[in-house]
Structures are given as structure tokens and as C-alpha cells.
Chains A and B, each alone.
Chain A
Amino acid sequence: MQSILLIVFLPLLAAIVVGLGNRALGNTVAKSLTTGALFVSCALSWPIFLGFIGGTAEAQVVPVLQWVQSGALSFDWALRVDTLTAVMLVVITSVSALVHLYSWGYMDEDPDQPRFFAYLSLFTFAMLMLVTADNLVQMFFGWEGVGLASYLLIGFWFKKPSANKAAIKAFVVNRVGDLGFMLGIFGTFLVFQTTSIPEILAAAPGMSGSSIGFLGMRLQTMDVLCILLFIGAMGKSAQLGLHTWLPDAMEGPTPVSALIHAATMVTAGVFMVCRLSPMFETAPVALGMVTFIGAATCFFAATIGTTQWDIKRVIAYSTCSQLGYMFFAAGVGAYGAAMFHLFTHAFFKALLFLGAGSVIHAMHHEQDMRYYGALRKHIPFTFWAMMAGTLAITGVGVYWLHAGFAGFHSKDAILEVAFARGTSLGTFAFWMGAIAALLTSFYSWRLMFLTFWGKPRWADSEHIQHAVHGQHENPDEEHGHAAAPDLHPHEGTAGYHPHESPLTMLVPLGLLTLGAVLAGWVFSHAFLDDPAFWGDSIFYNEALVHQMHAVPLWVKLTATIVMLLGLFGAWLAYIRDTSIPGKFVEQFSLVHNFVYRKWYFDELYDLIFVRPAFWLGRQFWKRGDVGLIDRFGPDGAAWVVAKGSVAAKKVQSGYLYSYALVMLLGLVAAVTWVLM
């Protein structure tokens, strides 16, 4: 299985060559190199994954290079391939390859294409390093590496202040999580004297009863370690509290949102919890926290999703919400279900994002859904692809046939297992998940209805007007609108004709559609019910799986019922009587504002973190350094010694050399005296 070396390092090689060659290479060469590398990686990844499905492959570790050895702390570069890694390999390389291809069309007019493709490939490399890590530090390398790539890609259109702000915000908020991750690694090393994941997992149960001092408190060792590590996961996977960067990350080009902020990077936290699942299983408090945060996030993000107008932001909040499902699945011990949802979600969410990109492309960079409408007939292929994505995310399927779109298999399993877990937290998660599923269905269909149904409302869009009047617009003008909740665009097309996207964009859409339709049905058995498939790569809870299948019928039907309710609600409000949303907003303006303003998290953080940091910085500088230390230190001394400048004037006359000589002679005299 040496092919793993190629899988991981080809994208790096492509990124370096294209990144350094940049414009000298030319667009076509740059695009071909990176995309080619990714397709090779992808082609090499699937056999590994299928090998694990078929039970022929075995877990192994390919050493690469020594990294750090410092006393007892030592970790090396190595690539670990087991079932869990194999799942991530196909997700990452497949979506990445398709996104590379898609970007040929989407970024066609961009003047900076080599840079874009180099970043994409660099991201893929870092993500692959993350999932193949055999020790916590290499995982952290990948963790920060994807953070760098995410920073660069969010800020790809770096002329825009909003893109820069979003990029920095993403990096800094992630660093808050990384602080937890780092402390978690330190603590793990302190306890286990190793950072090797297999060794930690093997030793973890033995430490489960121990206690440790942390910040002056005495706590259960494993709970402390797992909570610290989970804080890292919360940052990367945008969970409640550390989620604020994800919606802003939509400033990046849409293919980036699909790859990084939907299918791969943001799932790294879920991957981490699953990778360390035997360790988390020794930490009941930490698992409780995982369940609670996941459940709260899935509900919280879904509420915001129902009110946003920017098509990408809706999908971003949806991602946040779906990650919540994965976390509470892991929290109740259903790591297989969490990974299964990660797997299916990667396909249908990438599909939704790329579909949204295709819509944005067709609508000349307009992202506000209020200016959409009636696009069904104009861009039919995109419409059908988005439809498949919507059916998948809302979990459409028939229970009695055991057949449905991807989300039907994975999301329903998560709800069932949360209920089956039987604890109060599990039940809480079940209900939160059920409500969120209703909201998911509502906002997903709202998106579809606003975009593809009704009458055209394009006339007032600035972007469309630019297009009609022949003004060229760079893709870097892709942006959402400032929050204006009471905007009522007029109907009309302004003579604009949306055009279907080029083939390079439609082919990835088609392939992802296939994934959104089939991934659940085909792989459901392996992921959910096959302990042999997972091997030792995750903690597989067989008893829980049996209980999951034994939940009452109403639990099994809950997801389908709420999905239908959501669909009905969206149909009522956005097709049947389009005045309903306006009336609702008027009636419940307080609630609506709270949700529309994203629960005021950004405002709150700005108030308690960002502003004080700058204020404190100025105080420490002007009052501390200048006003206190300098004033009573050197400046005071100068005043006392009197006229330091007079002495300093002699600098240029070689006064200092005299000083040096005197010092030397004095020293020699002193030493001689002492030694004699």
C-alpha cells in the first residue's frame, strides 16, 4: 500500500510546482498539473477504500521521516492507513478532484488561477496529512495546515476588506480551538509519555479512574484530556461558541466553500473524535459535552439557516447544523453513524455548494435569493442536481423499502441511535435533532423554492443590471448583501437570460449527484452494521447498534414526518402564499431579529474580545511602556544623569572606543586583584 505516499504527496508536489511557477506556467498548465495530481490521488484512494469494504485490506503505517525527538517526547512523520483513514481518503480526494475540475469553469475569468489551484492542492495535502496521522502532533500539523489553506482561500480575493476580515477571523477563532488541542496534546504526553495514537488508545482505559491537577483543580484525567482535545474539534468543526468564522468564510470562492467548508476540513473535528473514540469512551463527562454541544449546534445553526437570504450562508449554517448531528452521534457512542453521516454529507453538501455556485455563475455573481426565482427552466441541469442534493439532505426515503437518498440513511440512523442510547442527554439530542431536521427541511426547500420556483425577481439586482448593460464583472465581486431584512425586489427579468454552466462544472455536479443518491443506500451496511469493516479503527459499539435497530416505529418515522412537515411549511410560505414570511416577520420581529442577527454572537464577541484587546493594547503601550516604564526608567535616568544627549553627541567622535578601553583596563585590573 505504498500508493499512500503518492496519494498524499502528489498534491503537495503539484501545489509547490504551481505555486512557485505561478503565472510563468500559464493557466492551463497550472490547472492540468493540480487537477491531474488530484485525479491520480483519487484513483489510488478508491481501491484502498474498496479493499477495506471487501475485507481484503489491512491497516498499516508507512514511515516517512523522523520528526522530533526530545527526551521522552518523540514523534515522526508517518502515514497511517486503516478503515477510518480510507473513508476520509475517498471523501477528500474525490471531492477535491471534482472541485478542482469544477473550478476550471467557475474560476475561468479569474486572473489569478495558478495561485488558486496551488492553494486547493496545498489544502488537500494538509487534509490528507491530518487523516493519515499516526500521532497527535502530525494530526495537529494537518490541522493547522488546513487552517492556513483555509485562510488563504477565504482571503483569495484579497482586495476585499470583507474577505481579509473573514480570513483572519477564521484563522484566529480556529487558533482558540487549537489552544485547547495543544494543551490536550501536552496533557496526553504528560499522562501517557507518548503522542502515538495507537499507544494512547491502548493505554487510555487503564487511566480512566485516575485524577489529575489542572489549573489548580483536581479532575478526572481522561475527561480533562478529552475535553481539551474536543475544544480543538469545536474550533475546526465550527461548533456552538466557536462557530462564528464559518458563515463569514463564505467570502471565499464557492468551490472553496464546497471543498473546505462543507465536505472536508470542517469535518476534521468529527474525524478526530472518531479516531480517538476508544479514548473518549473512557471519559463520560467529555462525551456528555460532545453530545450536548453537538445537539445544541445542530438546532442553533438550523434556526439561523431559516432566515438568511444569501444562498451560500444558508448552506453554511446548514453545514454547521449537520456537523452537530455528527458530534452528538459520536457523543452517544455511534462513531460509525457519525462517520457515515460525514461520508454522505460530504457528497450532498459539496453538491449543494457547487450547485449554488452554478446558480451564482448563471446569475452573474448575484447571491441574494430574493433576486432569484423561476430558474428551474433556465438552468435545468443545475436544478436537478440541486434537487438531488435537497432530497439527500432532507433525508427523503421510504422506511419500509430501506431505500432513500444519502441523508435518509445516515441522518435517520443518528436520530435513532440517540434515542436508543436511553440517557437523558441522548434523548435531548434526539429531540434537538428532530426539530433541526424539520428546520433543515424547511430551509432547504425554502432555498429551492426561492431559487427555482415562482416568478423571476432579477430586475433589481445590481449584478444582473451590470450583466445586461455589458459591464464586465470579475468573480471577485462575488459577495453577499449587507443585512437588509425588509427588501422586496420587483418581479421581472430585466431582459437577462441565465445561462447553464460549462461542462467542467456540470460533470462534477453529475458525479456528486450520483453520490447524493446512492452513497447512503450502497454503504449503509458497511458503515452502520459491519464491525469487521471498521476493525480497530474506531470504537464499535455493537450492543448500541442492536438497540438502534430496536427503537419503536415512531422514532424511526420521526425523521420522515418532520421532513414532510418542513416541506409543507416551506411550500405554504414560499409557493402557496408568499405573503406569509413577511407577516411572520412583522408579528414576531423580536424573535426574527434575534435569529436573523445570528443570535448576536458576532456583536457579543466583538464587545468582549476584539475591542478590549485593541483597547488594552493601546493602554499597555501608551500608559504602560511609554507612560510608566520609560518615564521612570531610562527617561528618568536621563533626566537625573542630566543631558544624555550631550554625552551621546560624542558617539561619533569615537568616545565609545575610549569607553571600551577603559572598561577593558578596569576589568583586567579587577581580575588581577582578585586572582592575586
Chain B
Amino acid sequence: MGGFPILSVMLLVPLLAGIACLFVEAKAARTIALAATLVDLALGIALWLNFDIGGAQWQFTERAPIFAGFNYALGIDGIAMLLIVLSVFLMPICILASQSIEKRVGEYMAAFLFMEVLMIGVFAAQDLFLFYIFFEAGLIPMYLIIGIWGGQNRIYASYKFFLYTLLGSVLMLIAMLWMVNEAGTTDIPTLMQYDFPAGAQTWLWLAFFASFAVKMPMWPVHTWLPDAHVQAPTAGSVILAGVLLKMGGYGFIRFSLPMFPEASAQFVWLIWGLSMAAVVITSLIALVQQDMKKLIAYSSVAHMAIVTVGLFAFNVQGLEGAMIVMLSHGLVSGALFLCVGVIYDRLHTREIDRYGGLAINMPKYALFFLLFTMASIGLPGTSGFVGEFLSLAGIYQANTWVTLVCATGIILGAGYMLYLYWRIAFGVQKNADAAAMPDLSLREWLMLAPIAAAVLWMGVYPESFLAPMRQDIAALDARLSRAAPEGDAHLVAGTPRAEAANAVGGTHSVGHGEAEGAH
């Protein structure tokens, strides 16, 4: 693909289609949106296939100075490539899921297409300020999607969403301005190699943290998420959970960790503490939810905490695990919100108790829902397991307490998800209207089946997803190694026992290692 500006084209296609959607009537807008997102999906696949694993760190680069050192600079590494592919994969599914939208369809489709432009832009930007624009502007279409096409309490939700996410961005902008002044460049790859003074790192790290923690979201700045999800239309929830939540994790992996390694190590207990709190608290909250979307939203917070502990484990397993959790969560929670949407479209309620026994009248639906439930609770063979396992394996090398507390998520997660599944799909058909709902239509099947395939693929053969980012993670790990906190294992060798524990008859030469106390 030498010379072909594929990233720019991927930005341009949805941009133009979005503008077009503003001026045509509903049916045409739907068609244009679907076509544009499918074209972008095709381009995304081309991007993946042409990505040279083991080649240059930054590929598909484009650069055009605009003015005064402010550059239009695009380029991706393996990490960004995977997140872009996730975004373009989910977009056509979102368009398909928006069939029940009837209000201002053209503008709705336009909002989604602009959203896609901004999402790809965030992951592809190589210029600090270009990144900032994409990162913050992403708020606007999502704000509109919730505020205009949302549920009854949409104004409150969109306001909360905006207030929270705006809070961090101001601080981040100030930090960026300082950084550019200090380093004399806006080029992200250069900044990733730049060693900021340790004292300044602390403040820069905190400023970025303010923004990323909200986007993630980390406890306790997560309360915008349940409301936003509950009020957002189905496709909005999918994009929110699938891609927007990944921007926080991407921010950590692209900025906080490589640019401020010392500060990252310094604040490691802040991250760990908040993550542990998130896993336990939000999992318990998920257990008592009566609203399907709220339950899944809270479970997202718990899952994102696994991402943050993985990232701040400072080793390859943790980083790769965090990335796989992000990709997996993007698919699985997106699919779970689609599953909610499927029955919401039929019954117009998110209240769990209004359903029950759906396995009887909607067996295909129940099967998909089961698969995604299992992926959500990290059953081996699904994508959820690979990420969770690697993340926790990573953090175990750093701290066993954090691992133990975060791993309780696998128990609590099983609790709230299976409890949900029971109340939705199993049990008796206690409501006649729920019992009369038809099974998946072809359109709905087409939405869920590709995600199901991806979830299993990532679970059985994650190498496809690990390989592209291996080199980038290794580079990051190398950069972090100078600051990485020491693990709490402190393995101390001793004199091996001469005999097996249950040796009998022979002479008992007791070889208990007495080499304790070296620490």
C-alpha cells in the first residue's frame, strides 16, 4: 500500500458520508451510513492485513504541517491498529442496531459517522494537539446521541457525561501545552522517548490521569457511566462501551506510561487502590441492579479496573493482558448491550423482572446471550479469559494482595452475570408479553454472529491479536523497566529437600531450606 493514505481515507469516508446524511431523508441516510461504515471496515481489514508485524514501529504514516508547528500527522503502531479495527468492526453493527430509531434519522446517522471519524482519529493521531482535538471532540457526538435520542432522563445523563469528561480535559490541555513548550515538539513518537524531569512528571501525570480516569472510568469518577448507558440508545451504548471507554486505557498506554514512567511508578498504589475498590464495589453494586443496562454498565467499571491493574503491573503480561481485556470488553460488552437492545426493542423496558424464560421462546437469542455472558465472566476459550488471565498474571508478579482482591472479580462477576442470565433467559415465562416475543430476526442475527465469532477467535487463537502489538509492548516494557516497582514475591532459593515429603522407610535426611529471612 505504498503511498496510499489509507488512514486519511478512513477518516474521509465517514466524514463525507456524515455530511451527506445531514441532507437526505431517513432511508437514504441509513443506506449511506451502512455503506460508509462497511467501506471503512474493509479498509480496516486491509489495514490489518498490510500491517507489517515486526516491521517499523509506526506504519502508514502521513504528515502535513498546517501552521506554526501544528501538524496533521497520522500513523499507527500495533496497539492503535487493533483499536482502530475494533472501532470499524463495531460501527456497521451499530448502524444495523439503529433500526428502531425513527426521530431525525439523518442527523443520528451523521452523529455516528462523525463519531467514527473522531474515534479513528484518536487512535491514529501522531500529533499531540491533533490527538487532543479528536479526543475531546469525541464527546460532542456522544453527547448529542444521548441527549437527543436517549431515554426519558437523557438530559441529566448527557449533562453528567459532559461535566465529568470535560473536567479532566482542561487539565490535560494545560499539561500538553507545558510539555510542548518543554520538549519543543508536538510529535507523539518523539515525546514517547522524551525524558521529562521527574518533578514535572508528577504534575503532568496527574493532569493526564484526571482525563483518562474519567474516560476509563475508574472508581470513584465512574458514576456518569451507568446513567449514560441507561439513557443512551442501544448503538450509543455499544460505541460508548466498545470504543469510548478504551480511550482512557489507550491514553495510559500511549501517554502516561511511556512519557512519565517515574511518575507512573510513583502513583502505582493510587491506581492499584482505585482498581481494587472498583472491582469489589462495582461488582457488588452490579449484583443488586434491577436495570439490565445499569448492571452491564457497572460490570464494565469492574472490567476496566482489570485493565488498569494490568497496565500498571509494569510487565509484558500485564500490558498485553490489559490490551486484550480492552479489545475483549469492547466486543463482549458491546454485544451484551446489543442483547439488551434486542429485547428492549420488543418490550420497551430494561427492567430485569419484566422478562424471564426467554430460552423458551427465543432459543437463538438465549444461546448468544449465554456465550457473551460466559465471555464476560472470563470463561476460558472466550476472549474474556485471555485478557483477564494475562492481566492478573502480570499483576501477580507485582503484588499478590492486589491480585487477590482483583481476582475476587471472577467470583463476583460469575455471581451477578449468572443471576442476570437466570432472571432473563431462564425461569418461567411469567409475563405474557415477554413470552410472546419472537426470536432473533436476520438483522439481529447478523449483528451478533460476527461478534460471537470474534469472541471465540480471540479466546482460542489470541495470537492473531497478540502478534501485532508484541513489538510495541516489548518496547514499552523496556522503557518502563527502569521505573518498574519491585514485586513482593522475593523468591529466595534454599537447600532443596533431599527426599519426597512422603518418603518412608529410608533414612530421613531433613533438607528443609533454612535460607529464610534474607529479606
On A, residues with C-beta under 8 Å from B are: 19, 22, 65-73, 77, 137, 140-141, 143-145, 148, 151, 155, 158-159, 161, 164, 167-168, 171-172, 175-176, 178-179, 182-183, 185-187, 189-191, 205-216, 218, 220-221, 278, 280-284, 287, 332-333, 420-422, 539, 541, 543-544, 546-547, 613-614, 616-618, 620-621, 624-625, 629-630, 633-634, 637-638, 644-645, 647-649, 651-652, 656-657, 659-660, 663-664, 667-668, 670-672, 674-676
Contact = CB atoms under 8 A, between A and B. Distances in A.
A175 B160 contact: no
B132 interface: yes
B23 interface: no
Interface residues of B, number: 111
5 contacts: A145-B380, A172-B415, A211-B516, A624-B220, A664-B133
Contacts of B517: 218
A652 B108 CA distance: 12
A543 B505 contact: yes
Contacts of B56: none
A183 B68 contact: no
A321 B360 CA distance: 38
Given A282-B497, A287-B501, A637-B163, A182 B407 contact: yes
B287 A614 contact: yes
A77 B386 CA distance: 13
Contact residues of A: prevailing secondary structure: helix
A629 B220 contact: yes
A621 B222 CA distance: 12
B315 A164 contact: no
A629 B396 CA distance: 31
A547 B501 contact: no
Interface string B32-61: 000000000000000000000000000000
Contacts of A72: 316
B2 interface: no
Contacts of A621: 285, 288-289
Contacts of B488: 213, 216
B513 A211 contact: yes
A-B pairs with lowest CB-CB distance, top 7: A209-B513, A333-B502, A209-B494, A71-B316, A186-B396, A281-B500, A158-B426
B395 to A, nearest CB: 9
Interface of B: 67-70, 129, 132-133, 136-137, 140, 143-144, 147-148, 155-156, 158-160, 163-164, 173, 177, 180-181, 186, 220-221, 223-224, 226, 281-282, 284-289, 315-317, 320-321, 357, 359, 363, 367, 374, 379-381, 385-386, 389-390, 392-393, 396-397, 400-401, 403-404, 407-408, 410-412, 414-415, 418-419, 422, 425-428, 460-463, 466, 474, 477, 487-497, 500-506, 511-517, 519
B387 to A, nearest CB: 10
Contacts of A182: 389, 392, 407, 410
A67 B282 CA distance: 31
Contacts, number: 303
A14 B396 CA distance: 39
B379 A144 contact: yes
B317 A672 contact: no
Contacts of B410: 175, 178-179, 182
Contacts of B496: 205-209, 282
A208 B392 contact: no
A651 B477 CA distance: 44
A186 B379 contact: no
A333 B374 contact: no
Interface centre among A68, A73, A630 (most CB of B within 10 A): A68
Given A208-B511, A667-B173, A221 B491 contact: yes
B230 to A, nearest CB: 13
